[in-house]
Amino acid sequence: MESNILRLAIQKKGRLADKSLELLNAAGIRIDNYSQQLLIKAQNFDLELLFIRDDDIPEYVQDGVADIGIVGENVIYESGKKLDIVEKLGFGKCRMSLAIPKFSTFNSVKDLDGKNIATTYPKILKKYLLEKSVNANVHYISGSVEITPNINLADAIFDIVSTGSTLKSNGLKEVETVLESEAVLVANKNLSDEKKELLEQILFRTRAVNKAKNNKYILLNAPNEALPKITDLLPGVKSPTVMPLAMDGWSSVHTVIGEDDFWNKIETLKNAGAEGILVLPIEKIIA
Ligand code: PRT
Ligand code: ZN
């Protein structure tokens, strides 16, 4: 019998594990008695969690052992599995880059012709080299790729970079970014209608949470003559709320403002006459 519980595969331990659980938690999905069991049912939603290694997630979701999963794009592309990428989740961000010893010269990827490149991601690398018509030897290494140039195992590496400090401390420099990656929600291509509906409910919630994260609630006071200029600067979800203050000739303005440019806007708002500006975090936005 087809079960109507949606099964989500997430990383058991590692860089994506906590953030994956945090996202569910913020979406109001309660996972009690979480103690690294393999499979656990949510308390208040038709969802069960399967905790596995991230490398296994694409295959499990493709084969329907899990219905959906949270995994890095890098892992999906390397797996070559056929999945629907449903949503970018905004965490686990990194890039996949080529790096060489810092004193080597580099003009273009063509310089890697005939060279040895070590990587844990041979599929992604080979595809890239083919696109660029570079004829290099790709060596698969299961870990600590960054040490291979120092022990003369490779001339270059292709690996995940985040801050760049691993490359730096191994005397390497990043010369080419091949791919940007972040954690995404993936789904099996043949979900039943019931499971699709459950997935939509989860997406509705996580989108509200992620949208809220990227925005702030702003309150400020301004003299009435400054209001046209100030409300122009603040579009809000629909349009800003303007309320009179007890003090004659003054109003209070409330609205939602994007995280990205909020420092710039705050300067401009002050210059336009805004005072007593408060900026608050938002928990959820249902637009
Ligand atoms: O045990 P399991 O197989 O589940 O975990 P794992 O060890 O394979 O993966 P894990 O937990 O290390 O990473 C999971 C995912 O996080 C990756 O697949 C990426 O999508 C994403 N991610 C984000 C990263 C990084 N940032 C990252 N910095 N994955 C790895 N790194 C490593 C990188 O390999 C390199 O060694 O960190 C080092 C570089 O970091 P910087 O900051 O020094 O540049
Ligand atoms: Zn892994």
Question: 35-53, pLDDT tens digit by residue?
Answer: 667 999 999 999 999 999 9
Instruction: Give pLDDT, residue 265.
Output: 85
The residue ranges of DSSP E strands in the chain, in sequence order, are 6-11, 39-41, 47-52, 68-72, 84-88, 94-101, 116-119, 137-140, 156-161, 172-181, 183-187, 215-223, 241-244, 250-258, 275-281
Q: Is residue 19 part of a domain?
A: yes
Shared-domain flag, residues 21 and 49:
yes
Shared-domain flag, residues 71 and 186:
yes
Nearest CA to ligand 1 atom 14: 15
Instruction: Give pLDDT, residue 166.
Output: 98
Domain that holds residue 117: 94-181
Nearest CA to ligand 1 atom 13: 15
What's the total number of domains in the chain?
A: 3
Instruction: Give pLDDT, residue 185.
Output: 98
Q: Which of 159, 162, 166, 170 should be mutated for ligand 1, with most atoms under 8 A from CB?
A: 162
Residue 133 and residue 113: Cα distance in Å, rounded? Answer: 9
**What is the number of the ligand 1 atom nearest to the C-alpha of 144?**
36
- Residues 75-92 pLDDT 10s: 999 999 999 999 999 999
Shared-domain flag, residues 156 and 37:
no
Nearest CA to ligand 1 atom 28: 162
Does pLDDT of 273 surpass 80? yes
Shared-domain flag, residues 204 and 172:
no
Shared-domain flag, residues 20 and 63:
yes
Shared-domain flag, residues 34 and 173:
no
pTM score, whole prediction: 0.90
- Residues 235-269 pLDDT 10s: 776 789 999 999 999 999 999 988 877 888 888 99
Antiparallel, parallel or unpaired: β 116-119 and 156-161: parallel
